[in-house]
Amino acid sequence: MLRVIVRRLLQMVVTLVALSVLVFVWLRNLPGGQVSAMLDERATPERRALLEKALGYDQPVWKQYFNWIKLVLSGNFGNSRVGGQGLVLDEIGRGFPATMELSSAALIFAIGLGIPLGYMAARYKGRLLDNTTILGTLVGVAVPVFFLGYVLKVIFAENLHWFPASGRASTGLDATHVTNFFVLDGLITREFDASADAIHHLILPAITLGTIPLAVIVRITRASVLDVLNEDYVRTAEAKGLRARTIRGRHILRNAMLPVTTTIGLQIGLLLAGAVLTETVFNWGGIGSLLKDSITVRDYPTLQALLIMAAGVYVVVNLMVDLSYAVIDPRVRVR
């Protein structure tokens, strides 16, 4: 087990180092170069010279790379042009809870609905439920995320008025924010109406963002349950006369969860990309909105920081998935 962890960690370090080289190359190829990317247009020549010296443009490339790494590790991505003149890191800090909240809600929606649905589809393979589910997942993947968002918004917010059309909280609601996770804040401060309001705002965006992961999770659950159903040990368990519920829980679901876990991990990385589109549609004000804005004004420091962060999250999530394998499947520990 320990060996698995150490090996994975080493692999992660290698990946991150290579990734940083990639981002470094990307940065140097930006229009106007790295210095213009880190400063805004109004920067004085003195500041420009200062930064050029700090980055060591007269030094060899590998040294410049290490200097840049030092800047990145200290969290200094320069100033953000998007939200006033704040530091990039502050902007990200502000948006992060919003995106995390949205992504978690989307994931809860996708997993909570996806695994039971996939399991039922596998159990009733070839029947109406199975066929409609499969068709639904195929259509779900084919719908552009932002279009789905607009459709939900027009139908359920603008016409039926069931849900709010945009934002994270109703205006005029006096809520205290401790963590900036609005649902959590309401629970901590015991302002339960604020929590309910935040959840009310979350529903449409979460469905929008969660639809593709939902479709993928349903399909992988169905496929892997079908695989497991034909395994010898399931037949053995049945022959032994174990209760159906035990077989379902211990033998089928537990073994079928392995590929599902991997897929969920992969989906978490993709959620970040989907969040860009969803947050734009629902005016969410998280990382995704920040990314969209930084694209519009070509705010490279913000873009760069977001890119590094997204890749970092992805790599860490993948590591966690690998490790959870070891927990779910004892066979992995031996290897």
Query: In the bound complex, what is the minimum distance in angstroms from residue 279's beta carbon to another protein?
Result: 11
Query: In the bound complex, what is the minimum distance in angstroms from residue 278's beta carbon to another protein?
Result: 11
* 102 CB-near residues (< 8 Å, 6+ apart): 202, 205, 206, 209, 275, 278, 279, 284, 286
Q: Extract the tokens encoding 32.
A: 């106007």
Residue among 255, 285, 267 at smallest CA distance from 102: 285
Q: Figure out which of the listed residues 276, 278, 284, 285 binds another protein, where binding follows CB under 8 A.
A: 276
Show the site string, 279-308: x = touches another protein by CB under 8 A, - = not: -x----------xx--xx-x-x--x--xx-
Residue 165 touches another protein, criterion: CB under 8 A = no
Residues 21 and 65: beta-carbon distance below 8 Å: yes
The two most distant CA atoms of the chain are separated, in Å, by 81
Residue among 72, 80, 60, 78 at smallest CA distance from 17: 72
Query: In the bound complex, what is the minimum distance in angstroms from residue 28's beta carbon to another protein?
Result: 10
State whether residue 76 is helix, strand or coil.
coil
Rg (CA), the chain: 24
Residue 273 touches another protein, criterion: CB under 8 A = yes
Query: In the bound complex, what is the minimum distance in angstroms from residue 335's beta carbon to another protein?
Result: 18
Query: In the bound complex, what is the minimum distance in angstroms from residue 135's beta carbon to another protein?
Result: 9
Number of residues forming the site for another protein (CB under 8 A): 43
In terms of CB distance, is 307 or 332 closer to another protein?
307
233-272 residues near another protein, rule: CB under 8 A:
269-270, 272
115-144 residues near another protein, rule: CB under 8 A:
126, 138-139, 141-144
* 291 CB-near residues (< 8 Å, 6+ apart): 276, 302, 303, 306
DSSP 8-class letter at 274: H
Residues 279 and 286: beta-carbon distance below 8 Å: yes
Q: Figure out which of the listed residues 43, 169, 187, 310 binds another protein, where binding follows CB under 8 A.
A: 310
Per CB under 8 A, residues contacting another protein are 14-15, 18-19, 22, 26, 29-31, 126, 138-139, 141-147, 150, 154, 269-270, 272-274, 276-277, 280, 291-292, 295-296, 298, 300, 303, 306-307, 310-311, 314-315, 318
